[in-house]
């Protein structure tokens, strides 16, 4: 595997207002697959989808770890991520652990 391979974590907003988190090593291709329904699964029945967040990761393991973490987040926390509102993400994380 080449050292220059880039991995991405991404978040899609689906037509029903829900969010889908994923990771890939080819963001443009993967978003195209989601947009056409070629991926099947969750996003295929919720078209169209829109890319609302993406971030590079140094390794596939880190991208997969972030994907799993984000999948467990509330809608409000995902929306804070989209806005880049790290103080709100932190506040929401603290609120969950204090319950």
DSSP H or E segment with residue 69: helix 60-71
pLDDT digits (tens, 9 = 90+) for 30-66: 999 999 999 889 999 999 999 999 999 999 999 999 9
Q: What is the Rg, in whole angstroms, of the alpha carbon atoms belonging to the chain?
A: 14
Report residue 98's pLDDT band, with 50, 70 and 90 as the boundaries: very low
The CATH number fitting domain 7-97, selected from 3.40.1350, 3.40.1440, 1.10.10, 1.20.272: 3.40.1440
15 neighbors 48 (Cβ within 8 angstroms): yes
pTM: 0.88
Question: Per-domain residue ranges for the chain?
Answer: 7-97
- The residue written with tokens 């947009």 in the block is 35
């Amino acid at each position: 595997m080449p050292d220059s391979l880039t991995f991405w974590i991404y978040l899609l907003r689906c037509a029903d207002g829900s969010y889908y988190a994923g990771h890939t090593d080819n963001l443009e291709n993967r978003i195209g697959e989601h947009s056409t329904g070629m991926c099947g699964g969750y996003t295929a029945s919720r078209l169209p989808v829109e890319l609302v967040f993406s971030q590079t990761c140094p390794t596939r393991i880190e991208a997969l770890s972030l994907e799993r973490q984000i999948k467990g987040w509330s809608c409000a926390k995902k929306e804070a991520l989209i806005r880049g509102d790290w103080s709100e993400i932190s506040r929401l994380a603290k609120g969950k652990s204090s319950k």
